[in-house]
Amino acid sequence: MFIAKTYLSGMKITLFTFSFAFLLWGCGQEEQPPVPAPQVKEPPARVDLLKLQIRGDLVYLQNTQIPFTGEAKSHYKDGQLRAEALIKKGELKSLKRWWPNGATELEMDFGKGTAPFRQPESYEASSSFVLVPSPAVQNLKSVEREVHWTALIAKHTRGFYSEELRAKVVSRLAETPRHQAALLTPYLEEGKNSELGASFSYRIETNASDGSPRLTITARARSAEGARIVANLAQREYEILSLSDEKRKLEFARQTLESLLTKSIEEEKKVMNEIAGFKNAKGLPYLEDSQKALEDSKKLFASEMNGIKLELIRIRLQLRRILEIQGRARTSQKARSSQDPNQDVAVLKEFWAIDDIAKYRNLPALRKTLDELNRERMTFDDNLLRKHQGNISAAAQSDPGIIENARAILRQVQALKEETTAAVQSLQEKFRQLSSDEKEFALELNKLQMESVRIETFKESLLPYKRKLETAKENTHEIYKRLNELKIEQALPGGQKEGLQKERVAELPSSPIPLQRPPSLEEALLSQNLSGGQTPWLPHGSFRAFHENGKKKMEGAYQEGRKMGTWVLYDQTGEEVGRKSFEGDESTVDRQTAATRTEAERTSRPQSSDD
């Protein structure tokens, strides 16, 4: 028992001592935080591009609800890597693609999503060719004929999808502002900028079910007119490419003449506008009408002037006669001792011999009354003569009728004198008025003459413009003539017909094509133009494209889908062939050879897979 107690006591002392020593040791050390267990960093997810989906403006893995983060790859059928995309939190960050031979095709970066998918309105229009078999082909066996058609269709298909045809279509579109407007206006209305070569696409479809192969060109654009224009241009340009050398030369000549004709007509319009502007500036917009009106006015004024002059001559002669009569009347009046009505009437009759005075106002009536009074006096005299047997002097002086008649005659003679005086004054006033009118007409005629001189001077200054217009019209006429001759030459038969014949041209589509489903992520990233902006990401950052031989083809940078800075183009050998600088919506060509201009237009952005 004692031994046990002693052992327990010893154990207590030992434990106490150990605890005390541990506390003392702990007081001298800092408190240490717990060390976390090491974590293993998970590698980024790697999935097949086919398993990713676009929902709204983010990317998801099939059957998941969390936006995908990781790498997505796609392979060719032989296992060769085709594309690799980097995605973070559902947003596309970068894309790299390879050619089937393993060489890099392109490398580019993307910005954040801008909006959910919204398919723009598009239109399609179609034109077509039919392959008419020659007698030699018709006589082939069915199998051989099928092989022949297959080879011929393959040849035309390659021709339709050739870079040469596309370059010609783009070139023809660029020549006509109306064509450019039809293709680019829908983009401008949305506040976007698109290059002409990227504003359309076309594809070829074949159909040989009826025994005559048919090649249909279906063009797509953002406007109905644009689709129709592209379909017909592609048909026309391929028809030219497929012609024989001789026919191609004729077609080239026809196109050249049509281009010259357009320029000549534009030159005519330009000169006509210059003439119209010159006329407006001189205040003579209707020169011919103004000149005709001026000539009519001059003729009218000249006729009036001639009439006034003739009338003045006539009246001047009458005034001279009046002056002569007045002179004789004053001489006769001085010779007479008393006033004699008969003498006054004799003088007045001289005035009445002047036609203007004889017809003046009341003179005809007064003269008629005087004649009646004289006949009445003669009647009184006859009666007195019979009554007094020839001695009527004393009787006449006392006869009341005769006395009243004499008084009436005096009053009438006085009235005639006053009226004749008024007639003379009226004639004089008429002479003065006509003289004043002659001066006024002379002034106006002088103004018209000055205006006529001004118009003649103006017509002389128009002569250079008219000569230019005549030259332009002559050129237009000659081009029309040569073009018609060329069209007749083309229409004439020239040996065996080509198998390819134009069947129909494109018509204006009445409605847009039905909306299609948004592209899958794989379709979007593997398409030649990255689905033409149909995905909610815009190129943002660096961009590099390569030829199939691995040489660099193009490099530059995007900012929110727009090209920025300097873009450089390279040929198959890697040598620089052109540069283009971009600032916002505008671009300026720094250095670009004519031989590579078409290539620059074609490669300035990814083309549609339909091209």
531 band by pLDDT with thresholds 50, 70 and 90:
low
| Domain-located, residue 74 | yes
Of residues 367 and 339, the one with the higher pLDDT is 367
C-alpha 393/C-alpha 381 separation (Å) is 10
Considering only 260-264, 311-315, 342-346, 428-432, which range has the smallest mean pLDDT?
Answer: 342-346
What letter would DSSP give residue 496? S
Supply the pLDDT for residue 604: 40
What letter would DSSP give residue 37? P
Question: Which of 58, 75, 110 is the endpoint of a domain?
Answer: 110
pLDDT at 495 over 50: no
Question: Which of 53, 77, 110 is the endpoint of a domain?
Answer: 110
42 band by pLDDT with thresholds 50, 70 and 90:
low
Pairing of β 45-48 and β 70-75: parallel
| Domain-located, residue 188 | yes
483 band by pLDDT with thresholds 50, 70 and 90:
confident
Q: How far is CA 268 from CA 265, 285, 462, 557, in A?
A: 5, 18, 15, 46
- Residue-wise pLDDT for 515-529, tens only, equals 666 678 888 888 776
Q: How far is CA 512 from CA 122, 123, 227, 346, in A?
A: 5, 5, 10, 108
Name the β-bridge partners of 558: 541, 563
Place of tokens 């050739």: 162
C-alpha 437/C-alpha 526 separation (Å) is 95
Do residues 126 and 227 both lie within one domain?
yes
Q: How far is CA 297 from CA 120, 441, 447, 457, in A?
A: 66, 11, 11, 19
pLDDT at 401 over 90: no
174 band by pLDDT with thresholds 50, 70 and 90:
very high
Q: ∠ CA(133), CA(134), CA(139), 5° rounding?
A: 90
CB atoms near residue 168 (< 10 Å): 19
Do residues 93 and 191 both lie within one domain?
no
- 94 alpha-carbon distance from chain centroid: 43
| Domain-located, residue 525 | no
Supply the pLDDT for residue 599: 43
C-alpha 408/C-alpha 376 separation (Å) is 11
Do residues 300 and 353 both lie within one domain?
yes
Q: Which of 24-33, 61-70, 238-247, 389-398 has the highest mean pLDDT?
A: 61-70
Considering only 18-22, 411-415, 547-551, which range has the smallest mean pLDDT?
Answer: 18-22
| Both structure tokens of 308 | 């006034």
Arithmetic mean of pLDDT, 299-312: 88
Supply the pLDDT for residue 594: 36
C-alpha 551/C-alpha 575 separation (Å) is 9
Supply the pLDDT for residue 539: 85
Maximum Cα–Cα distance across the chain: 230
Arithmetic mean of pLDDT, 314-320: 88
Supply the pLDDT for residue 338: 60
Do residues 156 and 292 both lie within one domain?
no
pLDDT at 226 over 90: yes
| Domain-located, residue 533 | no
Supply the pLDDT for residue 468: 86
Q: Which of 115-119, 263-267, 406-410 has the highest mean pLDDT?
A: 263-267
Percentage of the chain exceeding pLDDT 70 = 76
Do residues 311 and 231 both lie within one domain?
no
| Domain-located, residue 24 | no
Supply the pLDDT for residue 289: 81
Strand runs labelled E in 383-499 = none
| Domain-located, residue 308 | yes
Arithmetic mean of pLDDT, 290-298: 84
Do residues 439 and 337 both lie within one domain?
yes
| Domain-located, residue 537 | no
| Contact by Cβ (8 Å): 611, 528 | yes
- Residue-wise pLDDT for 59-107, tens only, equals 899 999 999 999 999 999 898 999 999 999 988 899 999 999 999 999 9
**DSSP three-state, residue 21:** helix
Supply the pLDDT for residue 391: 61
Supply the pLDDT for residue 516: 65
Q: How far is CA 37 from CA 34, 41, 258, in A?
A: 9, 13, 83
pLDDT at 7 over 60: no
Report the domain count for the chain: 3
Of residues 558 and 587, the one with the higher pLDDT is 558
Do residues 352 and 328 both lie within one domain?
yes
Residue 90 is inside which H or E element, if any?
none
C-alpha 143/C-alpha 140 separation (Å) is 8
- Residue-wise pLDDT for 126-143, tens only, equals 999 887 766 665 666 667
The CATH number of whichever domain residue 229 belongs to comes to 3.30.70
What letter would DSSP give residue 573? T
Provide the domain limits for residue 88: 45-110
Supply the pLDDT for residue 448: 85
C-alpha 310/C-alpha 458 separation (Å) is 36
Q: What is the pTM of this model?
A: 0.38
Considering only 73-82, 111-120, 183-192, which range has the smallest mean pLDDT?
Answer: 111-120
**DSSP three-state, residue 194:** coil
- Residue-wise pLDDT for 564-605, tens only, equals 899 999 998 889 998 988 875 444 444 444 334 444 444 444
**DSSP three-state, residue 44:** coil
Do residues 359 and 424 both lie within one domain?
yes
Q: At residue 535, what are phi and psi to the nearest 5 degrees?
A: -110, 160
Do residues 105 and 153 both lie within one domain?
no
Considering only 46-60, 336-350, 436-450, 563-577, which range has the smallest mean pLDDT?
Answer: 336-350
Mean pLDDT (the chain) is 78
Q: How far is CA 145 from CA 148, 149, 154, 242, 496, in A?
A: 5, 6, 14, 21, 19
Do residues 198 and 313 both lie within one domain?
no
Name the β-bridge partners of 42: none
